[in-house]
Structure 1
Amino acid sequence: MAPLASLGALLMAASVAVASYSNRPSYIGRDTFAAPYDQSFQEGYSILKHIGGLGPYSNRMSFGIGRDPPDSCAVDQVIMIRRHGERYPQGSDAGKINAALDKLYSSGKTEWKGDLTFLNWWKYYVDSEGLYGLETETGPYNGLLTTYKHGAEYRVRYGHLWDQKHNKTVPMWTSEFERVVQTARKFGEGFFGWNYTNSVSLNVISEGVKMGANSLTPVCTADNSTKTCDNLSHDLPAFRVAADRFNKQNSGLNLNGTDIFYLMFMSAFELNVRGYSDWIDAFTLDEWKWFGYTQDLQFYYCAGPGDPFYKAVGSVYANASLTLLNQGPKKAGPIFFNFAHDTNITPILAALGIASPSEDLPLDKIPFPSTYEIGNIMPMGGHLTLERLSCNATVATEKGTYVRVVLNEAVVPFTSCQDGPGFSCSLSDYTEMLNKMLPDFTSECKIKSSLPQHLSFWWDYNKTSEYNHQTAEYIPYQGHHFV
């Protein structure tokens, strides 16, 4: 047992330590301190990670790599492709959603009980057919606002690449679908601010098959098999459990697993409109996990690495961006902002080998762990950013040019190439890697020789601001040069 004098010295030392620590904001009591690092990490339990690409944007779960450039590096070129912002359901989905709702209301219930008690006051959030397919303008997750904010955030991150002093016009490119065009405009307003109108030349690229490889939305005409996609089931055991629960709580209901799927599908979009949904808590986390997996399967087999042709589709963008990176900012330009659909970006990820599982996703069970989770890969507003880094030498790396891939604001290193600062890949190794792994789009997809054989609009683009704002009519870029 310690002598009293020694014990007194220890107490004095402890009191000094407490006094020195008490100025920190984490101090909450005489003998208790708040943990300086959060230990809960609830990302996996967030509903935003289990609704696929249907609901609000969320950053990708990271690998713990700093998002800012490494200390020895500066970004000298950025190439981004972004999905449109949060939206309403598609018009093509309205019939299936309404069929599930009609099945509820046709039961004649006047008082809802159990998990469906909220139906006593709940109303469907689409109050006009004209809203289907559009980006949302209400709630904390509304698509136009989140897109504008993203542009403003990238202004802080990449604003040094914009040459305001010499008033150089910056081209941006968007596919021609209305909500994607609106996304490009809102992003541009966020990035360029009040200079947007005079500083940007927005190019609207046709989504037609006649564009061949010169497209943000290339189509593989040789890919005519939809067998797996057509047979993906929405009537899963987990959904039948939910249907049975609702049916027992409210006599007279006769819901089935498919009804449950479309009610869950509908509620994901409600988050885009209202920011919340009473439907979310009507289902268990296990049921949401299964719902998210249905979306993983849909993208994997229908617009991702599970379709043998989609790597070739994604190679169009991957190859063209590789050319930009090698030309560099002085020859090609420093800023390339592009806007398209989710199913145009997931093929690029497949081509780059990002998030691609080593085996096909099973149709009857969820693989744990899974590298292909669409809620983490391509939510509303999902985006893929390529950074060209100019780096000084460090004790571990050489001076040179490196490439980083950033998916939804998380740095994603390549397993086979991370020789640069911040787990980046040297441009020379990145070039060699892609030249070995990328297939040829025109030959694999049997693109007619009369159609464009490569992407050229990044070098041959419209230099006017004619389409920066809504006009009565616009003519999408068709491959000719604008003055």
Structure 2
Amino acid sequence: MQKLLSYLFLTGSSALGALALDDVPDYFVTDRKHFAGPKATGIAPFLRATNPAPFPGVSYIPNSPLETQVPIAGNDHNENIFELFGHLSHYFPNPEGFGVDEHSLPTGAQITWVNMLSRHGARYPTLGSAAFAFADKVKNLTGTFEAKDELKFLNDWIFTLGYEILVPIGKQELFESGTLHYYQYGHLYPNDGNKIIARSTTQDRMVESAEYFLAGFFGLGWTQNATLEVIIEKPGYNNSLAGYFLCPNGNKPAARQGDHASAQWIASYLADATERLDAKIQGFNWTIADSYAAQTLCAYETVALGYSAFCGLFTLDEWKGHEYSIDLAFTGNNMFQSPVGRATGIGYVQEILSRLTHHHLQEPTGQVNITLDNNTVTFPLNQSLNLDFSHDTNIAHILTAFGLTQFASPILPTDHIPPLDERPLIVSHLTPFAARLDIEVISAPSPVCQSRSECTYETNAFGKPKDQPTQYIHFILNQRTIPLGRSFAECGERDDGWCELGTFLDVQKDSLERAEFEYSCFGEYDSVPYGNIKDGVPLKKETEREYRPDEQIEL
């Protein structure tokens, strides 16, 4: 242990250089040996040998570094299927926006504080997921097996992926995010020579994501600028960056109605694909579950190996169906149609409010680790630059716990994909790999015009009264503004999406009560069908309609 602590001290990964080697607290030890979760490395990619590009009928475009020029049936307008993988999408900025235009800062206004919440980068599949089930089915085949046409690759296919740790492109995603955030917010780093505290969890991919981000932001010598605090990620431990581990009801059937809604849709949109693929393989009963696993393997193999033959098995519409299946799962399991939607993210919301108001939390609140959060060393309140690292579902819960109801209505149907203007959430746009939520505080010398179109010139961007300093809060998810007025009427319909900070804090003051943490996460309540819950908390008994098991469809 002495040798390990010496290494941490010398590299700066521990907290404070002034500490004696034997006194380094566990939450500043980043060796990834403690509570790191499952992890395994797959084979090294060999894309120069395995890439079939150039594809017939497609002009050659060099891979950069992933091969994404795979011909897709029905893709007449060169849409990018690799942005239809939901939470398994390689990072891309939200191309649609969240319903409001982007605006620059008016002259004289300044960003004075930022809190970034980032998802980890692209990774190998979760141990025990559909990808592994498909691989085991292929591996355990007996008798005659032969695949033809587009499935011919399966005759020699071997599952070569690891599990749960970052793949190379995932490391790049976080490094590039760190570099981007330096350009965006580097001026907020304190010039007093003090390190900032950044936070992650003990999972291997979480620690590495934080380290690659910090290297992108500060350079390879980031340990001179930041101390990485790692919080135990394991059931039973308070950790706002993995809130589901202190919300056991989240794993019970009552909170998994999104799975059933998604399964109903999957059985519909993959019916034709399943019949088509089953006809091209002998000695293998190709099922709906196999079709879905093949779609996830496309995503996982692409980020791990650079190319996947599974991607070309499906039409553009089937890829759009895949994206929508993930939307259904998230809205029903993790967001406003889930009884634990708010509760699982409420601890982190309370931490943000604590940072904004410069007051430590004095008692256990949601998933907050009060030992760390009531300490100026481990939870400083004077940082203008705050960097946290979490998971996709946890970020979805946090958006819900804030009460961003623009992602709640209308409820997504299970029998068709609604038009874009009727889709409140698209997971590919919310939590792709390396997703990032930036929360800014903006200080203006006077109130900024609610309608920027009425303030044509930057020098005339302020309303009345003049010389009345005003603070605003601004939410940016994957480089696009979330208009706070869409969810909180008190913020007004501002065309820049901002909200006056005081108004926002007033809106959020009852967020803990609205989340019903104890009842949602530990109480006893019945399952209700998908779509009955609308606000991210359990229904009260008098409003529940009878639950009918026949409304569930299992894969």
TM-score, with structure 1 as normaliser:
0.74
CA 220–243 in structure 1, closer or farther in 2 if over 3 Å, else same: same
Cross-structure match for 2:184: 157
Q: For residues 178-202 of structure 1, what are the alpha-carbon distances to aligned partners after superposition, in whole Å with 9 as ceiling and x for unaligned?
A: 1111101111111111431221111
| Cα deviation 1:302-356 (Å, max 9, x = unaligned) | 222211222122222122212322339x962101100111121110111223352
Cα distance change, pair 112–221 in 1 and its aligned pair in 2 (3 A): closer
CA contact (8 A) 2:438 2:477 kept: yes
Query: What letter corresponds to residue 274 of structure 1 in structure 2?
Result: L
**1:233 paired to 2:290:** no
**Whole-angstrom distance in 1 between the partners of 2:138 and 2:108:** 57
Find 1:399's aligned residue among 460, 469, 475: 469
Question: Which secondary structure state, in structure 2, belongs to the residue aligned with residue 236 of structure 1?
Answer: helix
Q: Structure 2: how far apart are the matches of 1:253 and 1:221?
A: 38
Matched, 1:88 2:141: no
Structure 2 match to 1:385: 438
Alpha carbons 2:343, 2:521 under 8 Å: kept: no
Letter in 1 for 2:293: Y
Distance in 1, matches of 2:90 and 2:323, equals 14
Pair 1:350 & 2:400 matched:
yes
Partner letter of residue 260 of structure 1? S
Asked if the contact 2:101–2:495 (Cα under 8 Å) also holds between the matched residues in 1, the reply is no
Equivalent residue letter for 1:233: A
Q: Which residue of structure 2 lines up, in the alignment, with residue 75 of structure 1?
A: 111
Q: Please tell me the residue identity of whatever aligns with 2:439.
A: L
Please give the root-mean-square deviation of Cα atoms over the aligned residues, in Å.
3.1
* Secondary structure in 1 matching 2:88: coil
The worse-fitting range, judged by mean Cα deviation, of 64-73 and 276-285 is 64-73
Deviation track 1:227-265 (CA, whole Å, cap 9, x = no partner) reads 425635275132121121123345665312111111111
Instruction: State the distance in 2 between where 1:413 and 1:181 align.
Output: 31
Query: Deviation of residue 391 (structure 1)?
Result: 1.6
| Secondary structure of 1:135's aligned partner | coil
Question: Given the alignment of the two structures, is residue 172 of structure 1 paired with residue 198 of structure 2, yes or no?
Answer: yes
Q: Decide whether the 8 Å contact of 2:122 with 2:171 is kept in 1.
A: yes
1:217 maps to 2:242: yes
Q: What TM-score does the superposition give when structure 2 sets the normalisation length?
A: 0.65
Counterparts of 2:211 and 2:200, CA distance in 1:
9
Cα distance, 1:419 vs structure 2: 6.6
1:116 to 2:151 alignment: yes
Q: Structure 1, residues 118-169: CA drift from partner, whole Å, max 9, x if none?
A: 557x744x536xx2111102xxxx1011111110110111100112x42111
Aligned AA (1:344): N
Q: CA deviation at 1:384?
A: 1.4
C-alpha distance in 2, partners of 1:119/1:446? 44
| Residues 418, 85 of structure 1: alpha-carbon distance in 2 compared, 3 angstrom cutoff | farther
Larger of the two Rg values belongs to structure: 1
Q: Which residue of 2 aligns with 1:46?
A: 80
CA distance in 2, matches of 1:181, 1:106: 45
Q: Summarize the Cα distance change of 1:108–1:309 in structure 2 as closer, same or farther, 3 Å threshold.
A: closer
How far did residue 301 of structure 1 move? 1.6
Pairwise mapping of residues 238-257 of structure 1 onto structure 2 (< 5 A)? Answer: 238-250=269-281, 254-257=285-288
1:39 is aligned to none
Counterpart of 1:403 in structure 2: which amino acid? I
Structure 1 residue 208, shift from structure 2 partner: 3.7
Which residue matches 1:127?
Answer: 160
**Which residue of structure 1 lines up, in the alignment, with residue 91 of structure 2?**
57
Per-residue CA deviations over 1:82-121 (Å, capped at 9, x if unaligned) read 1110011122125313145458997522x621x335557x
CA distance in 2, matches of 1:413, 1:262: 36
Return the offset for 1:364.
3.3
- Is the Cα–Cα contact under 8 Å of residues 57 and 379 in structure 1 kept in the other structure? yes
CA distance in 2, matches of 1:389, 1:207: 33
Match of 2:216 in 1: 190
Alignment check: 8 A CA contact 1:420 1:426 kept:
no
Could you say which residue in structure 1 is the equivalent of 2:529?
A: none
Q: Does 1:361 align with 2:412?
A: yes
1:50 deviates by: 1.8
For residue 16 of structure 1, what is the aligned residue in structure 2? none
What amino acid is aligned across from residue 134 of structure 2 in structure 1?
I
Which string of whole-angstrom CA distances, capped at 9 and with x for unpartnered residues, describes residues 4-58 of structure 1?
xxxxxxxxxxxxxxxxxxxxxxxxxxxxxxxxxxxxxx99932133211113111
Deviates more, 1:378-387 or 1:409-418: 409-418
Aligned twin of 2:135: 98
**Mapping of residues 463-474 of structure 1, within 5 Å:** none
**Pairs aligned (count):** 395
Q: Distance in 2 between matches of 1:127 and 1:159?
A: 40
Q: Which amino acid aligns with 2:462?
A: V
**Percent of aligned pairs sharing the same letter:** 25
User: 2-side partners of 1:106 and 1:379: how far apart?
Assistant: 40
- Give the aligned residue type for 1:50: L
* Kept after mapping to 2: 8 A contact 1:174/1:205: yes
Structure 2: which 5+ runs fail to align? 1-75, 360-379, 447-460, 524-555
8 Å contact 1:48–1:375 — kept in the other structure? no
Distance in 1, Cα, partners of 2:314 & 2:483: 36
